[in-house]
Structure 1
Amino acid sequence: MKITAASHGGNYNELAKKHGLTKEMVLDFSANINPLGVPASLKQTITANLDQLVEYPEPDYLALRARIASFHQLDLANVIPGNGATELIFGIAKVTKAQKVLLLAPTFAEYERAFFDAEIVYAELTNETHFAAAKIVLATLERETDIDAVCLCNPNNPTGQLISQQEMVQIASLCEKRNIYLIIDEAFMDFLEDNETISMIPYLQQFPHLAIIRAFTKFFAIPGLRLGYLLTKNDLLAEALLQMREPWSINTFADLAGQILFDDTDYINQTYSWLSAEREFLYEGLTGFPELTVYRPSVNYIFFHLEKPLDLRKELLVKGIFIRSCANYRGLSENYYRVAVKSRDDNSQLLSALEVVFSGN
């Protein structure tokens, strides 16, 4: 059965109300947003440019595209901005008109919704292989010879597992040989300090059927602004995406954000420092519970399996903590969960609450 309705992390207000809690009383581990919050540089820029609200955004976003192109050492024509990564996922589905699409299972649900009219082939990931994807993707491509597009999330959401650059080159080579579009969602790639050794951006020239989607949302903690971008060296694909996009889909402040955030090196370095310490702290804490099988994380969220019959989300919610149930991901049961890496105080609260839940108190 195809997924037709969106269900994501961060939507905890309704559940909180059911348990007599206000939104402010709940500690949200369901949304994978940088806990450092909105960068001060962006707050200052927005404050200084409030008067721009009376003007329409610049329709072609030339300054924004030029800054993104410069950051990635590409040409302006290679950059297509979007109202978040999701708009670009839906846009590329419309442009490619793919009739048969390979997706991971489990993975981010919006790919399936975007390619709603297509036949979906699933590369089924399993706990036996720790949800590794590369081999099963290649095997599926060898078996299914009439695939039109492959859409991969790297690192994958919710499992956090990575396809290495070497493995992705193998996939891209096979796709190029067969004229298959390879769409890679790298929305969480910025959380990897050495992401240039994993990202496929350096291979855009080599693989014309390759398109890469990035987002400012998670790393810079601006989901409310909605800003993403697509990179490709395929001129026909880029032009088609630019032609079909709705005018002024990116608001003025999101446009400004994309022009300045790459330069906020203090915030970027603080993020890497926080994540390096807190991801290991939370991972080690979670692995200390025999009730959990925890998968080693690569970015800012941790995926685990509960080894006993218990509604862990409900148990934690009554204690004022909300985690992401992965029951609605294809291929996962109700005993799979995902938690964001947050501050030391927040992570400690989660571990303390789990200790209480598992002790039966």
Structure 2
Amino acid sequence: MNRPFHGGNLKEASLKYKMGRDEFIDFSANINPLGLSPRIKEALLDSIDLALCYPDPYCDELKREISTHLGTDKENILVGNGSCDLIYLIARTFNPRNCLILIPTFSEYEYAVKISGGSCQFFKLSEEKDFLWKKESVLKRLKGEDLVFICNPNNPTGGLVSKEDLLFTVAEGKKRGATIVVDEAFIDFVEDSDQFTLVREAVSNGNLLVLRSLTKFFALAGLRVGYVVGAKRMIKELEKKQSPWSVNGLAQIAAREALRDQNFAEKTKSYIQQERNYLKERLEEIEGIEPYPAAANFIFCRLTKDGINSSLLAEKLGCQGILIRDCSTFRGLDNRFIRIAVKKREENIKLIAALKDIFGE
């Protein structure tokens, strides 16, 4: 089984197009376009000597910060080396025999389950329904699986499911002996995210785990920090299987400062909302591109012009130093779909200009 493909591979792009990494505008990776906050940068510079020391293996200070941020006990939290690390830990710990995955979605769920010895069943979301789902449809599909992965908002489609539908699925999963994992890696970008997140419900549900990432919203992709929220019993089980020193000391410091920097968080949400709306409106003006409703910091699009598919478009843009995500590598999608990260205004303008040239040919 081949490793899943991801965006953001500037090394590969640099070799392919014979350009320096800093010459690319990377719309293929969904990272905060504002970059690191000044507060995080200052904290990292002040703490650089900690690279000489072993990190706190339990991330106690960071867990306290997260618990304050969420309003939960720190015993309900486990920190990992990015949320992807925790996906593998969940699969390794609960060792599912059969897992249900709603597709198209993040490819690491499938890989993590399969290398842990489990099998996967797939519920393909309908293109006609904008790849969204309702509680009744998942209920009909849930037949004996002991683990279910749900991404909300979903990557790559950007679809957002209501808390009501998610909690119904959790309750039905409990009756059927299934653990539900809700991946909220992009929830911080969502307007009124408190109305959608299940972190508070996770502490009291014995079959619900909620994954959160600091990588995307706080631009910590190179440091890797994520966490999982769940009932204390479930967190203890995960702790038993976690590798020691999973999160390096500088990552722990950066994550603590990130959670304390509410001004930066508010600035990011406002900026993303503004640029997402701008980018979507400009994409809608291009005949041959149909953007879907977007809830996070990226826009999922369908290509409708004859002669242009996702691979060809990615190649044409790549030659100009612009990278997008060709979604044909996602299970459940074909070469009619792309994903575009929301970037800064001047970068978004360059993308739109390049797309207009290509689609006007």
Name the TM-score class by shorter chain: over 0.9
**1:131 alignment counterpart:** 131
Q: Please give the residue correspondences for 1:178-217 in structure 2 after superposition, counting only pairs within 5 Å.
A: 178-217=176-215
Cα offset, 1:205, TM superposition: 4.2
**1:10 alignment counterpart:** 8
The answer to whether the Cα contact below 8 Å between 2:100 and 2:142 also exists between their aligned partners in 1 is no
The answer to whether the Cα contact below 8 Å between 1:160 and 1:298 also exists between their aligned partners in 2 is yes
Cα offset, 1:293, TM superposition: 1.5
The answer to whether the Cα contact below 8 Å between 1:16 and 1:317 also exists between their aligned partners in 2 is no
Question: Larger deviation: 264-273 or 32-41?
Answer: 264-273
Cα offset, 1:202, TM superposition: 2.5
Cα offset, 1:53, TM superposition: 1.8
Match of 1:228 among 212, 226, 229: 226
Cα offset, 1:338, TM superposition: 0.2
Match of 1:301 among 287, 290, 298: 298
The answer to whether the Cα contact below 8 Å between 2:188 and 2:217 also exists between their aligned partners in 1 is yes
User: Deviations along 1:250-285, whole A, 9 cap, x unmatched?
Assistant: 101111122221111221111012112100000000
Cα offset, 1:143, TM superposition: 4.3
**2:341 alignment counterpart:** 340
* SS of match in other structure, 2:328: coil
User: Deviations along 1:14-57, whole A, 9 cap, x unmatched?
Assistant: 23432332222221100000010111111111111122222111
Cα offset, 1:140, TM superposition: 4.3
CA, structure 1 residues 144+37, in 2 after alignment: closer, same or farther (shift >3 Å)? closer
**2:322 alignment counterpart:** 321
CA distance in 2 between partners of 1:331 and 1:205 (Å):
32
The answer to whether the Cα contact below 8 Å between 1:156 and 1:162 also exists between their aligned partners in 2 is yes
Cα offset, 1:313, TM superposition: 0.5
**2:44 alignment counterpart:** 46
Q: Please give the residue correspondences for 1:1-361 in structure 2 after superposition, counting only pairs within 5 Å.
A: 4-116=2-114, 117-135=117-135, 138-233=136-231, 235-308=232-305, 309-310=307-308, 311-360=312-361
The answer to whether the Cα contact below 8 Å between 1:19 and 1:318 also exists between their aligned partners in 2 is yes
The residue identity in structure 1 corresponding to 2:350 is Q
Cα offset, 1:294, TM superposition: 1.2
CA, structure 1 residues 144+188, in 2 after alignment: closer, same or farther (shift >3 Å)? closer
CA distance in 1 between partners of 2:23 and 2:74 (Å):
45
CA distance in 2 between partners of 1:143 and 1:44 (Å):
49
Cα offset, 1:60, TM superposition: 1.6
The residue identity in structure 2 corresponding to 1:326 is C
CA distance in 2 between partners of 1:192 and 1:260 (Å):
21
Question: Larger deviation: 245-254 or 197-206?
Answer: 197-206
* SS of match in other structure, 1:115: helix
CA distance in 1 between partners of 2:8 and 2:301 (Å):
18
CA distance in 1 between partners of 2:82 and 2:163 (Å):
25
CA distance in 1 between partners of 2:273 and 2:331 (Å):
30
The runs of 4+ residues in structure 1 deviating greater than 4 Å are none
RMSD of aligned Cα (Å)? 1.3
The residue identity in structure 2 corresponding to 1:306 is L
* TM-score with structure 2 setting the length: 0.95
Identical aligned residues as a percent: 34
CA distance in 1 between partners of 2:314 and 2:141 (Å):
39
CA distance in 1 between partners of 2:146 and 2:6 (Å):
27
Matched length: 355
CA distance in 2 between partners of 1:140 and 1:71 (Å):
31
CA distance in 1 between partners of 2:148 and 2:5 (Å):
22
The answer to whether the Cα contact below 8 Å between 1:95 and 1:237 also exists between their aligned partners in 2 is no
Query: Please, which runs of 5 or more residues in structure 2 have no aligned partner?
Result: none
Question: Larger deviation: 323-332 or 240-249?
Answer: 240-249
Question: Larger deviation: 50-59 or 25-34?
Answer: 50-59
User: Deviations along 1:113-149, whole A, 9 cap, x unmatched?
Assistant: 11002221111012101100334xx434434431101
CA distance in 1 between partners of 2:72 and 2:350 (Å):
44
CA, structure 1 residues 70+152, in 2 after alignment: closer, same or farther (shift >3 Å)? same
* SS of match in other structure, 2:329: coil
